[in-house]
Structure 1
Amino acid sequence: MIGTVNAFQISGLDEKEFWQFFKACAFGKENYEGDPSLQSIGRQIAKALKGCPLAARSVGALLNRNVSYEHWKTIRDKWKSLQIKDDDFIPILKLSYDYLPSHLQRCFSYCSLFPEDHPFSAATLVQVWISQNFVQCEDIGKGLEETGLQYLGSLVDLGFFQKVDRHYVMHDLMHDLAQQVSAKECYTVRGLQSSTIRQGIRHLSIITTGDDNDKNTNFPTEKYEEILQKIRPLQKLRSLMLFGSSSVYLLKSIQTVCKEAKCLRLLRVCVLNTDISAIHTFLNPHHLRYLEFIRVSETKDMLVYGDYKDAAFPRALTSFYHLQVLDVGFSGNISVPAAMNNLVKLRHLIADAKVHFSIGGVGNMISLQKLKFKVQNISGFDIRQLQSMNKLVTLVISHLENVKTKDEANGARLIDKEYLKKLFLSWSVGCMSLEPERTKDVLEGLQPHHNLKALCIAGYTGPTSPTWLSSNLSVTSLQTIHLVNCREWRILGSLEMLIEILS
């Protein structure tokens, strides 16, 4: 509207450059000069893609699954039957989607619930898929999370996701495709522009980002309520996600939705401090698997994402026995009820370290995969709490000065934790009770399983290595070791062997 020149229309890649890129995607190398019949089919397809790199990557990955004349001819013939219009690449991408195995189709189409250009965390995305039972383990030696990451890797290789830095993103055209193929089960309320809502949808998201700068008095709550009233029946609803800080004004409106949706498995909701203590009152604890709170602060002029202050988990939340993921964010402290350890199926607790430190009897939570544990001389907080937590993948143990003997340290049974990949052990700096021989005995008793890949030791005051890290090196899978403030450690035995293992 304010431009001084005409809009510049961006065309596709140059035909020659595009053919090189297409060959790299389809044959695995851009200088392929092999089978002429395959090249002929490839050129026919590449010409129709009009220089679009995303289409080349998607169709090329599909062709690359089976570099044979029969497979390529089948793809070409199916592609021709789609009667593709100029610059309409969705049918081409849909063809690639149709060739996906059913489990990858479910995972991809579900992502239509997220806003466009949403930066996906691999861990979060996999946890969401698991909550919907989309991830199935066929290999006994692999966990659900590892299998889910393989699913994501396959979708990246096939062009449905792109990795950008530490996150994953979905191209706009892929997002459009996800919406199209998920229309029977997923629906997104984007602002006040709602289309026809199918009956009996299973997954619902509400995106209010366009209204995030509005004050409470200006937010169109009633109009959103009118849209929500059209979403019936709710007995089949499995997911409810809210995006945008202003969605806190819809919390009362979605109470009815949650009460009717008795089989809800996933809830992602923006909350004020005062909302947390009451959120459980309209949730059914029997089916909920994933619960995520996004903290919002109310300022004079607008809503902003912030930290928790004087918030507390309601005791009733401890009866959500099937909960697998509880995500309250890493910033801000929240008070924990005494019976928090009832959540025996909780796999992931995404929260400030103080929340982890406050869980008494955490040893009951045997499904946890990541834990920050502070050893304390109080019942329910001793290091033996870790004994049966054999699903841990990442473990941080601090205040090890409160462990007195090797036998006490051995009570953590780190040697039994075959899934443990990252281990952080620390003693408090400057603690007067750090006797070198005692700390050496304690470290000796904390021998990890040989599958451990990363080890960090901080504040250790012993003069020598534990036997499991020296002459009798048992951590044979170790890839990194990080030593911090271990100033008295004079001898790192069998350094040559250790360097060989790390390399």
Structure 2
Amino acid sequence: MAELVAGAFLSSSFQVIFEKLASVDIRDYFGGNKLDDLVKELDIKLNSINHVLEEAEIKQYQNTHVKKWHDELKHVLYDADQILDEIATDAMLNKMNAESEPVTNFISGMWSSITTNPFESRINEQLEKLELLADQTKRLGLEDGPCASKEGLVSWKPSKTLSTTALVDESTIYGREVQKEELIKLLLEGNDSGNKVPIISIVGLGGMGKTTLAKLVCNDKKIKEHFQLQAWVYVSESFDVVGLTKAILESFKFSANGENLSLLHQQLQHELTGKKYLIVLDDIWNVNAACWEDLLLPFNHGSSGSKIIVTTREKKVGNVLNSKLFDLQQLDKSDCWRLFETHAFHGRNKCENPELESIGKKIVNKCGGLPLAVKTLAQLLRRKFSVPEWTKILETDMWRLPDGVNINPVLRLSYHNLPSNHKRCFAYCSIIPKGYMFDKGELINYWMAEGLLKCCEAYNSEEEFGSEIFSDLESISFLQQSHHTYFFTQEHYFFMHDLVNDLAKSVSGEFCTQIVGSSVEVIPERTRHIRYLNCGDNLLEPIFERKGLRSLILQDCTATLLSNDVQRDLFSRLTWLRMLSFRHCRLSELVDEIGNLKLLRYLDLSCTKIKSLPDTICMLYNLQTLLLQGCHKLTELPSNFSKLINLRHLELPFDFRHQPWLKKMPMNIGKLNKLQSLPYFIVEEQHGSNIKELEKLNHLHGRIHIKGLGNVIDPADAVMANLKDKKYLEELYMDFYKNGREEMNESIVERNVSVLEALHPNSNLKRLTIVNYNGNSFPNWLRGSDLPNLYCPELSRVGLLAYNAPYLRCLCSKLETILSLPSTTFVQLEGSDCVL
């Protein structure tokens, strides 16, 4: 496994700025010589600061003056990056105009050459700030860092590391065997507390393994057999009786409708009556007895023997609940060492590394018996498997953090030893609320929108680089895979432990703010990223005042809050936004002023009531991700949609059967040749030749549903769809549905056969579904060995007219080998004209 090379948080920011300055478009924009002088001056100032970045990053935890200096430097770099993004966008627009109107652009270029560039003064302003910061380094006692290279520059180029997997193994728990059996015994014993359901509070420090112990117990065979119903609800610091009651109902797999607490309580009481249940309320903070009395009212009607487990850091919570306290203590030294040894040595013989074993035991003694701290640090040291690296960790000053810094030093140390890009991506995770389950692709697209994946020369794409960073953060347990399952998706979801979330908030500082509820607090001037949860009907004025805002996530906002006037204000004042989300907001219309957000890279309109998108959305030339899932009133995209030339991920609305909600595809969608995500493509009834638009979309990943293949008249058009070159596609759904009934005849049958033959997929395809196909044979590419990776073919509603029985038996035999199933069960054929 490749090693993670530590780097200062801001060093990759410097690289991004230099790379932007070196781009051809920006050099042409400034006219070469002018820019050379600016670049030279900026280079000198940045490099004079670059030498001290690592030392400043460590000293900021002991010296408030160094922290202020470091934060101001981050603020200036944000502004410098912002200006360069504006210049790059202006340069891109000039280039596009030159291609469409060369004469007009030539005149414009002549004029700009004799006028002052509007960005020069802003760049000079940032240069002055950098010079001031450079002058302060010596007064702050910052010397050239030990990681400076011979030329005096920190190496910030990322090395391409091997893919890693999470080291989270819930079955490997050390030192909790006795506590597990004690807890199981408590859960299995009878109820002697009258009507009230007994509550057991697992109490312990953060990172002690309270949640892990609860999961371990709940998965025990005896517990599963004893309780008829089980539920798990994450509570955390927010406490809303209505929301929690609905979450409990849903966790028990009951529907939960409405906001009326009385009705919800009646439903919950009805569902639990006469049933023996176990519910876990994870991570409780609230000590308000009245709130708990309201929440627990319906739980006294289950069968005798029902139990509630809560996990909490506060004994006061357990006392308020009148519960039995189960105090979870630190692991002893031997168990800590076993845990450390498992993750740090990972199959290596420690006897062959006696010096590492000695150093490792000293490191373990500093972890304070916290399982999370031991495991996280062990996973880090596994990546740095050498005596010098382990010694450096043992002797670092970061074990001794000043009073008032409420962050576990082991987690802080693990963070400090990450590469620069990883640090910046992890800090951005502070925008994730505690207890929030997120998808891997969702987080990577956040990082990409913020420009955190630009330094990826060793990778094929920013997404690949982001996936590598995600895996590295997962490998040290900064990101963990959730064991919650959702019936409507096969996706894996992830979460951050509360202590890790606190660490992310600590390192991001005032640059990231979360707001919960109806009151908007004072937002720091340097804030660049805001997440606003459970928005009320108050104004967003305090947010709009943050002119440099780059990320704004609004969740569950009311229609009043997002009126057209408010939107116009937002889009006119927050023009630096790169990431904007209205997910689950009561939004029915998007105003034209959305086109002002020239730098926007990520727009999430999922689960809104949007009926149409304004044409001005096609002016968002930097847009990379557009999410429209759940927009069931949206049936068409703007006609100029193909102008979104940088679009990479497009999620479209579909119904509960995963059928397309749009009526047709936008014109010239084939020009969006950077697309990696496109859930479906609709072949139009009147324009079946539009299937040719798929020709250049060779970067498509994952799954695509092609609907309306019965509308393809000329098989040559299907050939031009070029499915054979789409090597990243793993799932293909081919639907030959055609609007209106068409009387079958020999020519139509032959045409369908030819079209399907022409749609030869790439050999990397893993899943194939063919529906509504009417032909007299299957294609040659399905008959032979063209699809060696295919493991789950499915035929549905297929009418095989005069089919070739020997051939079909051959196909059955092939699928029998693939699936190891009898030939009569290899595919779904309900509603088909053939019988096996």
Q: Which TM-score bucket, shorter chain as reference?
A: 0.7 to 0.9
What residue is the counterpart of 2:722 in the other structure?
Answer: 413
Checking the alignment, whether the CA contact within 8 Å between 1:111 and 1:178 is kept in structure 2 is: yes
What residue is the counterpart of 1:345 in the other structure?
Answer: 646
What residue is the counterpart of 1:57 in the other structure?
Answer: 375
What residue is the counterpart of 1:262 in the other structure?
Answer: 575
Checking the alignment, whether the CA contact within 8 Å between 2:576 and 2:597 is kept in structure 1 is: no
For residue 175 of structure 1, the aligned residue among 478, 501, 522 is: 501
What residue is the counterpart of 1:402 in the other structure?
Answer: 711
Shift in Å at residue 157 of structure 1? 0.6
Shift in Å at residue 292 of structure 1? 1.0
What residue is the counterpart of 2:440 in the other structure?
Answer: 122
Checking the alignment, whether the CA contact within 8 Å between 1:428 and 1:459 is kept in structure 2 is: yes
Checking the alignment, whether the CA contact within 8 Å between 1:477 and 1:501 is kept in structure 2 is: no
Checking the alignment, whether the CA contact within 8 Å between 1:450 and 1:475 is kept in structure 2 is: yes
Q: Render the CA deviation track for 1:329-381: whole Å, top value 9, x for unaligned.
A: 23513143322333232222222122373423322332222241121232486
Distance 1:46 1:192, change over 3 A: farther
What residue is the counterpart of 1:216 in the other structure?
Answer: none
Checking the alignment, whether the CA contact within 8 Å between 2:578 and 2:599 is kept in structure 1 is: yes
Distance 1:115 1:86, change over 3 A: closer
What residue is the counterpart of 1:43 in the other structure?
Answer: 361
For residue 750 of structure 2, the aligned residue among 437, 450, 470 is: 437
Checking the alignment, whether the CA contact within 8 Å between 2:531 and 2:552 is kept in structure 1 is: yes
Checking the alignment, whether the CA contact within 8 Å between 1:454 and 1:478 is kept in structure 2 is: yes
Q: Render the CA deviation track for 1:274-312: whole Å, top value 9, x for unaligned.
A: 65232x42552421111112446xxxxxxxxxxx37x11
Equivalences, count: 475
For residue 599 of structure 2, the aligned residue among 287, 290, 297 is: 287
What residue is the counterpart of 2:468 in the other structure?
Answer: 150
Is 1:312 matched with 2:609? Answer: no
Shift in Å at residue 21 of structure 1? 1.6
Checking the alignment, whether the CA contact within 8 Å between 2:367 and 2:374 is kept in structure 1 is: yes
Checking the alignment, whether the CA contact within 8 Å between 1:37 and 1:69 is kept in structure 2 is: yes
For residues 30 and 4 of structure 1, what CA distance do their matches in structure 2 show? 48
For residues 62 and 130 of structure 1, what CA distance do their matches in structure 2 show? 25
For residue 629 of structure 2, the aligned residue among 329, 332, 341 is: 329
Shifted more, 380-389 versus 30-39: the winner is 30-39
Q: Render the CA deviation track for 1:153-179: whole Å, top value 9, x for unaligned.
A: 111012110011410101111111111
Shift in Å at residue 6 of structure 1? 6.7
Shifted more, 487-496 versus 477-486: the winner is 487-496
Does the residue aligned with 1:180 lie in a helix, a strand or coil?
Answer: helix
What residue is the counterpart of 2:782 in the other structure?
Answer: 469
For residue 534 of structure 2, the aligned residue among 208, 217, 233 is: 208
For residues 60 and 72 of structure 1, what CA distance do their matches in structure 2 show? 10
Distance 1:270 1:161, change over 3 A: closer
Consecutive unaligned residues in structure 1, runs of 5 or more: 212-218, 297-307
Does the residue aligned with 1:481 lie in a helix, a strand or coil?
Answer: strand
Distance 1:83 1:498, change over 3 A: same
Is 1:185 matched with 2:511? Answer: yes
Does the residue aligned with 1:291 lie in a helix, a strand or coil?
Answer: strand
For normalisation by structure 1, the TM-score amounts to 0.83
Does the residue aligned with 2:630 lie in a helix, a strand or coil?
Answer: coil
For residues 196 and 312 of structure 1, what CA distance do their matches in structure 2 show? 35
For residues 457 and 816 of structure 2, what CA distance do their matches in structure 1 show? 32
Q: Render the CA deviation track for 1:88-122: whole Å, top value 9, x for unaligned.
A: 65222111111111111111110111211111111
Does the residue aligned with 2:773 lie in a helix, a strand or coil?
Answer: coil
Checking the alignment, whether the CA contact within 8 Å between 1:313 and 1:335 is kept in structure 2 is: no
Shift in Å at residue 464 of structure 1? 3.7
Checking the alignment, whether the CA contact within 8 Å between 2:607 and 2:630 is kept in structure 1 is: no
Does the residue aligned with 2:632 lie in a helix, a strand or coil?
Answer: coil
For residue 82 of structure 1, the aligned residue among 383, 400, 406 is: 400
Does the residue aligned with 2:775 lie in a helix, a strand or coil?
Answer: coil
For residues 157 and 199 of structure 1, what CA distance do their matches in structure 2 show? 35
Does the residue aligned with 1:312 lie in a helix, a strand or coil?
Answer: coil
Does the residue aligned with 2:640 lie in a helix, a strand or coil?
Answer: helix
Is 1:384 matched with 2:692? Answer: yes
Does the residue aligned with 2:662 lie in a helix, a strand or coil?
Answer: helix
What residue is the counterpart of 2:671 in the other structure?
Answer: 364
Checking the alignment, whether the CA contact within 8 Å between 1:451 and 1:475 is kept in structure 2 is: yes
For residues 500 and 180 of structure 1, what CA distance do their matches in structure 2 show? 55
Is 1:242 matched with 2:557? Answer: no
What residue is the counterpart of 1:453 in the other structure?
Answer: 766
Distance 1:29 1:421, change over 3 A: same
Distance 1:80 1:295, change over 3 A: closer
What CA RMSD, in Å, does the superposition of the two structures yield over aligned residues? 3.4
Q: Give the aligned residue type for 2:787.
A: V
Checking the alignment, whether the CA contact within 8 Å between 2:581 and 2:605 is kept in structure 1 is: yes
Does the residue aligned with 1:457 lie in a helix, a strand or coil?
Answer: strand
Checking the alignment, whether the CA contact within 8 Å between 2:629 and 2:652 is kept in structure 1 is: yes
Checking the alignment, whether the CA contact within 8 Å between 2:554 and 2:583 is kept in structure 1 is: yes
For residue 428 of structure 1, the aligned residue among 707, 731, 737 is: 737
What residue is the counterpart of 1:276 in the other structure?
Answer: 589
For residues 410 and 260 of structure 1, what CA distance do their matches in structure 2 show? 48
Q: More helix by proportion, 1 or 2?
A: 2
What residue is the counterpart of 2:525 in the other structure?
Answer: 199
For residues 486 and 112 of structure 1, what CA distance do their matches in structure 2 show? 50
For residues 567 and 507 of structure 2, what CA distance do their matches in structure 1 show? 26
Distance 1:70 1:420, change over 3 A: same
Q: Give the aligned residue type for 1:228.
A: I
For residue 483 of structure 1, the aligned residue among 795, 804, 807 is: 795
Q: Give the aligned residue type for 1:326.
A: L
What residue is the counterpart of 1:99 in the other structure?
Answer: 417
Greater Rg by CA: 2
For residues 682 and 595 of structure 2, what CA distance do their matches in structure 1 show? 32
For residues 195 and 9 of structure 1, what CA distance do their matches in structure 2 show? 37
Report the identity percentage. Answer: 29
Matches within 5 A, 1:220-231: 221=538, 225=541, 227-228=542-543, 231=545
Does the residue aligned with 2:509 lie in a helix, a strand or coil?
Answer: coil
For residues 560 and 439 of structure 2, what CA distance do their matches in structure 1 show? 23
Distance 1:257 1:443, change over 3 A: closer
Does the residue aligned with 2:626 lie in a helix, a strand or coil?
Answer: strand
Q: Give the aligned residue type for 1:456.
A: T
Shift in Å at residue 40 of structure 1? 2.5
Does the residue aligned with 1:183 lie in a helix, a strand or coil?
Answer: helix
Shifted more, 461-470 versus 90-99: the winner is 461-470
For residues 583 and 451 of structure 2, what CA distance do their matches in structure 1 show? 24
Shift in Å at residue 268 of structure 1? 1.0
For CA contacts below 8 A with separation 6 or more, give which structure has more relative contact order: 2
Q: Give the aligned residue type for 2:650.
A: L
Q: Give the aligned residue type for 1:128.
A: Y
Q: Give the aligned residue type for 2:410.
A: I
